Structure 1
Amino acid sequence: MPTSGIELLFEGRNFSRLMLGLWVSVRIALLSMLFSIVLGTGLGLVMNGRSRVGRALSRVYLEFIRIMPPLVLLFLVYFDLTKVAGINLSGEVAAVVVFTLWGTAEMGDLVRGSISSIPAHQYDSARALGMTELELQRHVVLPQAVRRLVPLTVNLTTRMIKTTSLVALIGVVEILKVAQQIIDANRFEYPGAALWIYGAVFFIYFIVCFVISAFSRRLERKWALS
Structure 2
Amino acid sequence: MQDSGLQVIFQGNNLLRLFKGLLVTIDISLLSIVISLILGFAFGFVMISHFRIIRILSQLYLEFIRIMPQLVLLFLVYFGLARSFNLNLSGELAAVIVFSMWGTAEMGDLVRGALTSLPKHQFESGLALGLTKRQLFIYVIIPQILRRLLPQAVNLMTRMIKTTSLVVLIGVVEVVKVGQEIIEANRLTVPSTAIWIYGFIFILYFAICFPISRLSMYLETVWKE
SS at match of 1:5: helix
Partner of residue 125, structure 2: 125
- Identity fraction in percent: 56
Q: List per-residue Cα deviations over 1:52-92 (Å, max 9, x = no partner).
A: 11111100000001111111111111111111111110000
Q: Structure 1: which 5+ residue stretches go unaligned?
A: none
Partner of residue 186, structure 1: 186
Partner of residue 40, structure 2: 40
TM-score (norm. length: structure 1) = 0.93
- How far is the alpha carbon of 1:2 from its aligned partner? 6.4
- How far is the alpha carbon of 1:215 from its aligned partner? 4.5
Give the whole-Å Cα distance in 2 for the aligned partners of 1:111 and 1:186: 48
Partner of residue 75, structure 1: 75
Question: What pairs with 1:10-25 in structure 2 (closer than 5 Å)?
Answer: 10-25=10-25
Task: Say whether the 8 Å CA contact 1:36–1:107 is kept in structure 2.
Answer: yes
Task: Say whether the 8 Å CA contact 1:2–1:190 is kept in structure 2.
Answer: no
Task: Say whether the 8 Å CA contact 1:28–1:95 is kept in structure 2.
Answer: yes
Number of matched residues? 225
Task: Say whether the 8 Å CA contact 1:74–1:98 is kept in structure 2.
Answer: yes
SS at match of 1:42: helix
Q: Is the aligned partner of 1:101 residue 2:101?
A: yes
Partner of residue 89, structure 1: 89
Q: CA-atom RMSD, angstroms?
A: 1.9
- What residue identity is the alignment partner of 1:149? L
Partner of residue 140, structure 2: 140
Q: List per-residue Cα deviations over 1:20-62 (Å, max 9, x = no partner).
A: 1111111101101111111111110011121111111100000
- What residue identity is the alignment partner of 1:158? T
Q: Structure 2: which 5+ residue stretches go unaligned?
A: none
- How far is the alpha carbon of 1:9 from its aligned partner? 1.3
SS at match of 2:81: helix
Partner of residue 170, structure 2: 170
